[in-house]
Structure 1
Amino acid sequence: MTASLGLGTYRCRDVARAAAMAAAAGADWIDTAPNYAQGQAERALAPVLARHPELKVSTKVGFLAPGSRGLALRAGVVAAGTAEAGHCLAPRYIGWQVECNRRTLGRTPDLVFVHNPEHGCSREAITDRLYLAFLTLEKACQAGLIRGYGVATWSGFSSGLFDVPLLLELASKAGGPQHHLRAIQLPLSLVNLAPIAQALDGVGVLADAVAAELEVFASAPLHGGAVPGLVTPELAELIRSGSTPAGAGLAVVASAPGVRRLLVSTDQPQHWSEATTVIGQPPVPLDTLRKVTDVLGT
């Protein structure tokens, strides 16, 4: 596979256990956010990151964990209504959250993703929201607080609210030709198949990311555990002979053009072992991927 395996912590019940398991298995990346695991994910990761300095880590800004809303209010970086809503991308809040992320993780994040910028945002407002976020993150990069930034979205690309060319335009406006926009993160799976189908034709978000040399992080590759139940034995055999439904679903995403990292959220050794096996095999051929998109549609 051209994609590598990373740990996503969104659905992990035991983040510390999952991180230790991933590190022991040779994973090189962990993705998290300050609101994951009831606001405790970053704190749980800190000891594992300290023991494994070779691990890279990405975190996010945007959602406020319930336990941090009071802190943000007392710091004066959000208004009461915004804290209650639980999501903020105002520059003052982003700057404060970056400092909190860094302190809690115990190290400089390799990437900070703008987390679901589409949340509660209109088409008219999204450009300004992203530009101000990028401007703040460029300043954080220049200050050495983070190494780069990206956009992690659930529906921003699929809804047409923004695209990679717009992100590049705004990053260049905020940071010049040497801007620090490095990656995008979006859901890709047999349920969210449209970006993969487009990439096979050389268009869409994945093709744009490749052209821009942005790393693509594929989140929710099993769509919250729904994919194995949707894969028939015939479909699994089409994708890869002898594969399990889960393995077949992961193989499609890991083989998609442009995907750099496959984020799997699990603290179960058997699930991690299966994902590792998938990543260690050759990619699913492009003509097979085309047959899968033809069978399932987009």
Structure 2
Amino acid sequence: MATWSGFTEDAFTVPLLDRLAREAAGSSEHHLRLLQLPVSLVVDTHLREALHGAGPITHAADRGWEVHASAPLHGGELLTLATPEIAALIQEGAGVAAACLAAAASCPGVEKVLLSTSRTAHWEAALAMTREPAIPPATLRTVLDVLATPV
């Protein structure tokens, strides 16, 4: 199941999707096993919820479903919106792109981050970032609090 705004617009919930899949299958043995939704420092609702043990990412992970984060760089816009200071707050010494990807990849319950790029160097940098330890939840909460603070 992939959606951009289905959860934030209250079109459905993970329990509802699970119930509908069970009804369609005629049993609890259905094939709905993956959820894809935006997770980034721009579209941060799902990240915030997951950091508090709530929301669709947590509900899907609790059911054993895979969760894939889409749009981790918000279509590339995040690279101009985020600052080196935010990147340093996320992960000292990281560039803006790597730090923003690390934030999405470190979201509790997210197993994979979907990314597109046209350059091999960007792909290799993103792959290297995924091999780094996850950003601690407390750090992610601090970053989100900083980003939410009015200027």
Runs of at least 4 residues off by over 2 Å: none
Shift of 1:271: 0.8
Look up the match of 1:159: 9
Letter in 1 for 2:59: D
What's the CA shift string for 1:139-163, capped at 9, x where partnerless? xxxxxxxxxxxx1111111111111
Look up the match of 2:93: 242
Of 125, 131, 138 in structure 2, the residue corresponding to residue 287 of structure 1 is: 138
Q: In the aligned structure 1, how far is the partner of 2:22 from the partner of 2:82?
A: 42
What's the CA shift string for 1:14-43, capped at 9, x where partnerless? xxxxxxxxxxxxxxxxxxxxxxxxxxxxxx
Look up the match of 1:230: 81
| 1:172 equivalent in alignment to 2:22 | yes
* Structure 2 counterparts to residues 124-203 of structure 1, below 5 A: 151-175=1-25, 176-203=27-54
Q: In the aligned structure 2, how far is the partner of 1:222 from the partner of 1:256?
A: 14
* Structure 2 counterparts to residues 27-66 of structure 1, below 5 A: none
Q: Counterpart of 1:152 in 2: which secondary structure? A: coil
Gaps of 5+ in 2: none
Q: In the aligned structure 2, how far is the partner of 1:294 from the partner of 1:210?
A: 25
Shift of 1:222: 0.5
Q: In the aligned structure 2, how far is the partner of 1:296 from the partner of 1:194?
A: 13
Q: Counterpart of 1:154 in 2: which secondary structure? A: coil
Shift of 1:187: 1.1
The two structures have a TM-score, normalised by structure 2, of: 0.94
Larger Rg: 1
Q: In the aligned structure 2, how far is the partner of 1:297 from the partner of 1:169?
A: 35
What's the CA shift string for 1:121-170, capped at 9, x where partnerless? xxxxxxxxxxxxxxxxxxxxxxxxxxxxxx11111111111110110010
What's the CA shift string for 1:175-231, capped at 9, x where partnerless? 111111110111111111111111111111111111111111111110110111111
The two structures have a TM-score, normalised by structure 1, of: 0.49
Letter in 1 for 2:14: V
Letter in 1 for 2:20: L
Look up the match of 1:271: 122
Q: In the aligned structure 1, how far is the partner of 2:79 from the partner of 2:128?
A: 16
Task: Calculate percent identity across the aligned residue pairs.
Answer: 49
Q: In the aligned structure 2, how far is the partner of 1:219 from the partner of 1:266?
A: 13
Cα RMSD for the two superposed structures:
1.2
Q: Counterpart of 1:248 in 2: which secondary structure? A: helix
How many corresponding residue pairs?
148
Q: In the aligned structure 2, how far is the partner of 1:170 from the partner of 1:296?
A: 37
Q: In the aligned structure 2, how far is the partner of 1:161 from the partner of 1:258?
A: 21
Q: In the aligned structure 1, how far is the partner of 2:129 from the partner of 2:99?
A: 8
**Greater strand content:** 1
Shift of 1:297: 2.8
Gaps of 5+ in 1: 1-150
